Amino acid sequence: MLFPTIDFAIFFLVAFVAAWLLNPYPTPWKLGIIALSYFFYSWWDWRFVFLLVASTVLAHLGAMGSSRRATSPRVARASLIGSLAGLLGLLGYFKYYGFFAVNADNLLHSLGLGRLIPLIQPTLPVAISFFTFMAISYVVDVYRGRLEVARPVDLAVYLCFFPHLIAGPIVRGEELLPQIRRRRNPQDIDFSRAIWMIMAGLFKKVVISSYVSSAIVQPVFSAPSAHSAPEAIFAAWGYGVQIYCDFSGYTDIAIGLALLIGIRFPVNFDAPYTARNLQDFWRRWHITLSRWLRDYLYIPLGGNRGSDAMVVRNLMITMVLGGLWHGANWTFVIWGSLHGCGQVFGHLRRKSRVARGLPAVAEGTLRSTWQRFWTFQFVCLGWVFFNASSFSNAMGILGRLFIGWTTPTRLVTPLLVLVIVGVIEAQFVPGAALERVQRFFSEQRAGVQAAMLGLILLGITTLGPGGVAPFIYYRF
């Protein structure tokens, strides 16, 4: 069930009415949200619901056993390890078994040992990466003493709440569980802001992302050898715009939907293409995943503590596993490795500058512009591997930069250039200016707001394609 569809509009209308009718009754409200969320998740495949239930049970049992206030340190640690092993085991089997089995079997065969590993490709459940990471963060936070063990019904709502279920944000227990426990006040809901975010998200996804995908990204990535060097360059830039509009558009819609039900989600994007280096980029892109990797992987590995060799190790492990989180394919490993190498270079460069008595990052308007330009180029280089169907497909696109200058360029139109440049430049618009536009909308009468929304929806349906493709992050 995709957000920009009539099916979801009907579902959300029912969910919205039910949520507010049940709002005065805490337990029925929670049970109603669980039922609605499970129905939403079962729309893809009803069998996936059992996996979501299993993850919830593992998280609850792990949290009860991991609470140091209720058990001894040894039992708490054993429970933590057991729960994490169960959660990661489910994720590993469904998402990575086929990938590792094929590669291990090929290695054994090349060594003359025959075909020893059963080659099974389990169906990948939608959103398993997202709710698994949320379950892990909950159990670890209980073990660390940051959270109390939640009631099973509260934990179930936390993991399955349908606005974030499919593609995040990856919300922490300390952010969402208190909101689940308390009663929501309709008078505190900024309905105009919620509707504004939903409309903005729909425009980004349905209009911009869909247009860039069909105009340049899909044609070039599906047949690199048929396209010119400028088309390959604009395809890489275009995919950067496509995935930003697609994923941030989803996040805007999810935040708006949750807000209409009285739940606030954390910000997940902060103008990522204005970043001056990769460290800055990951503070702005998919923020909830970035901080998850930082708090539950990078820092436990040692973070910035220790020698340069240890820091390099920690950065590379974090980014490579972050790449694998996105999918079981060597292209994601390469993507994560590229960002890991870029982070290592940035770390060593910042450390060297500080040792010489210089600011960690060079200042000045010209230098800032130069830093942003090259950071964007590096990020788009990574997007080539991220979007490519295989390593050879990615190299085919990059190879066009060297041998594709005599091929006719037909896909790079003035409209395409305007859209790509416009999306990037729009991220430099001050947040205060966007807030003023949103505030202007919220201050209008209901009739004026309805007319404005009608025009926006008319524009979206007119400019958008006949059918809307799934959000890119649905497959993770």
Q: Quick one: angle between helices 128-144 and 173-181, nearest 10?
A: 90
Measuring CA to CA, how many Å separate 455 from each of 217, 249, 444, 451, 459?
29, 19, 15, 6, 6
Which run of H or E residues covers position 208?
none
Distance between CA 337 and CA 201 in Å, rounded? Answer: 30
**C-alpha neighbours within 13 Å on the C-beta side of residue 5:** 11
Dihedral, CA of residue 349, residue 350, residue 351 and residue 355, to nearest 10: 100
From the number of C-beta atoms within 10 Å of its C-beta (0-12, 13-18, 19+), residue 186 rates as exposed
Distance between CA 37 and CA 254 in Å, rounded? Answer: 13
The widest CA-to-CA distance across the chain, in whole angstroms, is 76
Distance between CA 256 and CA 263 in Å, rounded? Answer: 9
Which of the residues 60, 227, 326, 347 is marked catalytic? 326
Dihedral, CA of residue 292, residue 298, residue 300 and residue 304, to nearest 10: -130
Query: DSSP string covering 238-299, please?
Result: HHHHHHHHHHHHHHHHHHHHHHHTT--PPP--S-GGG-SSHHHHHTTSSHHHHHHHIIIIIH
Beta carbons within 10 angstroms of residue 185's beta carbon: 9
From the number of C-beta atoms within 10 Å of its C-beta (0-12, 13-18, 19+), residue 456 rates as middle
Catalytic annotation present for 326: yes
**C-alpha neighbours within 13 Å on the C-beta side of residue 278:** 23
Give the chain's radius of gyration (CA, Å): 23
Distance between CA 213 and CA 239 in Å, rounded? Answer: 7
- Exposure b/e, 55-88, CB count within 10 A at least 16 = b: bbebbbbbbbbbbeeeeeeeebeebbebbbebbe
What is the residue type of 362?
A: A
Query: Residue 432 has which token pair?
Result: 């205060």
Beta carbons within 10 angstroms of residue 90's beta carbon: 18
**Cβ-proximal residues to 472 (8 Å cutoff; 6+ apart), any chain:** 242, 243, 246, 247
Give the residue numbers marked as catalytic.
326
